Structure 1
């Protein structure tokens, strides 16, 4: 499976707008320093605790404002940071990330230095327990009932909602759930509204994008196929006016977040814009040297965007922090070539 970037668990997988900046400023004051408590009770909404959060694997009852939060979802730390809470531990998503977070979250992280947990072989239960958390976030995660059983014995654990798939929670829902668990529902609503406004502004700023078809792909030469995403990363781009090409949804289903075509059907990728992320430079060189690829409409017109690993991570698990950042990397480049 091909869900960038690090394969955790058992899964085979414009700049920040003024409104968002104001929202983060409003909810970020007084957050804890490096490696210490996650936040203070004075920051929670009045009357927020105790709070009960019902998710797919069980109910988490949080008696008071959490002071030591462990974020086990891919982008759960982003939502927490946006709400002024600095987790004591987060999961490793990309080797090159300074202090474990993407560049979109560095300012919100400040001088905090959370422990970075490697979940490639599953959640490190003993390490989590040793951190003495009073809340575990696993919303944008691959949580299983067995995982939940172990983690919930350590601390109240908030997973994804019933009916959602692993790593399949929309960013708005993720922010709402985490905001509720942290007692910061008002701040969560403000942060969501700010990102919504930034996406609306993006659509107005780049009218060239409106109605243009696009695909977000990932080549797998070893499997002889091209993965076409149909998940949150494409939904965010649709908010900016782009339209997902029907070839993505019509291709044979690969998993809950993507479909795939065999490489022999590469010529059917006739969308007006094309984003492709590559796991290795060799894969990029191989695809870009393919004569069929060179002749694709998006490539020939210049509306082709190679996606690096950092941007792939930002867009694959979109959050209130990463969406404005990734929009700045993607939208101007595509708008320049689309008419």
Structure 2
């Protein structure tokens, strides 16, 4: 099997909680065999839309031809399982993102998961083709993934495979698009549309509930102690926050370009983080202690006003891989504190 490219590894690391995919780990089997574990997740599929199948789903690496309602779905994207669960589809396998997640999913997805126990696949060294084949899937989705053309070629020989759309990059498909693409693949396009509309309505309601946020500048950052820099994000996590009225600080555009989803500043320029609100995710408690003890950091306007929100690995996963399930959960955690301090 092929290992992920260095570019994919870099993106997963910087994307936040997705960096946890790179940590060493073992396949979680929940004390059952592959087949029994998969059966606990798969089975009766929710009723598909009339005329949904056969379906053709266009992706970057080719078309997925899906003849009928899939019953055994493997989710290889870092939040694809959320979209599936929101649509009533319980995957037989998902990828490992966080060691602390019960049965491989975040707390925002536990209710939708119910009693299902999907296999949790370790993708540190690439996608485990043999283990995926052993699960006997009739659909593989890797919309929010790092799939390469070589990976896709192998996977499509196992089952119809839905990668990210043409024009999108690895881990770069917006949550709305992700949900609708997966919805089409499982024959639940109408439900996918409703799920997206409900989340957008929720964000609009958040903006009305917290008018203090409107027009206030913010930054979503990550301190890289190893190289003495601060990552400034400009991706889906910041776009979601803009939908509740916040405004991304122009500093992001002035910082050194890293890639398509983040720029960075030297720690020597920490005093330039003068946004009204500051969100910082930390990989470890030690990283947080180190930054919060910094004299310059203590004097930042957002820190002094209380509009500083430290984010742990779980909340980072929820916000950096936004989905129809994680967005409402993340907003409930972030917005009340920010609104109170900004008000």
Q: Provide TM-score, normalisation by structure 1.
A: 0.91
Q: Secondary structure at the match of 1:293?
A: helix
Displacement of 1:250 in angstroms is 2.0
Displacement of 1:253 in angstroms is 1.2
Name 1:4's counterpart in structure 2.
Answer: 16
Equivalent pair of 1:39/1:86 in contact (CA under 8 Å)? no
Equivalent pair of 1:211/1:241 in contact (CA under 8 Å)? yes
Q: Aligned to 1:337, which of 333, 337, 341? A: 341
Distance 2:197 2:122 in 1: 32
Equivalent pair of 1:8/1:120 in contact (CA under 8 Å)? no
1:110-159 CA deviation, whole Å, 9 max, x = no partner? 00000000111110111000000000010001111011011111110001
Q: Aligned to 2:83, which of 75, 79, 86? A: 79
Distance 1:131 1:148 in 2: 17
Name 1:223's counterpart in structure 2.
Answer: 227
1:51-79 CA deviation, whole Å, 9 max, x = no partner? 00010011100000001000000000000
What 5-or-longer segments of structure 2 have no aligned partner? 1-9, 24-37
Equivalent pair of 1:228/1:248 in contact (CA under 8 Å)? yes
Name 1:175's counterpart in structure 2.
Answer: 179
The aligned length equals: 317
Q: Aligned to 2:95, which of 88, 91, 95? A: 91
What 5-or-longer segments of structure 1 have no aligned partner? 12-32
1:275-299 CA deviation, whole Å, 9 max, x = no partner? 0011111111111011110011100
Q: Would the alpha carbon gap of residues 259 and 176 (structure 1) be closer, same or farther in structure 2, given more than 3 Å must change?
A: same
Name 1:14's counterpart in structure 2.
Answer: none
Deviates more, 1:248-257 or 1:53-62: 248-257
Q: Which runs of 4+ in 1 moved over 4 A?
A: 8-11
Distance 2:189 2:52 in 1: 8
Displacement of 1:6 in angstroms is 4.1
Distance 2:101 2:212 in 1: 33
Name 2:254's counterpart in structure 1.
Answer: 250
Alignment of 1:135-214 (within 5 A): 135-214=139-218
Q: Secondary structure at the match of 2:124?
A: coil
Name 2:40's counterpart in structure 1.
Answer: 35
Name 2:298's counterpart in structure 1.
Answer: 294
Q: Would the alpha carbon gap of residues 53 and 314 (structure 1) be closer, same or farther in structure 2, given more than 3 Å must change?
A: same
Displacement of 1:256 in angstroms is 2.1
Equivalent pair of 1:79/1:174 in contact (CA under 8 Å)? yes
Distance 2:80 2:63 in 1: 18
Name 2:282's counterpart in structure 1.
Answer: 278
Equivalent pair of 2:207/2:244 in contact (CA under 8 Å)? yes
1:249-282 CA deviation, whole Å, 9 max, x = no partner? 2211112211110100111000000000111111
Distance 1:193 1:255 in 2: 30
Distance 1:324 1:7 in 2: 22
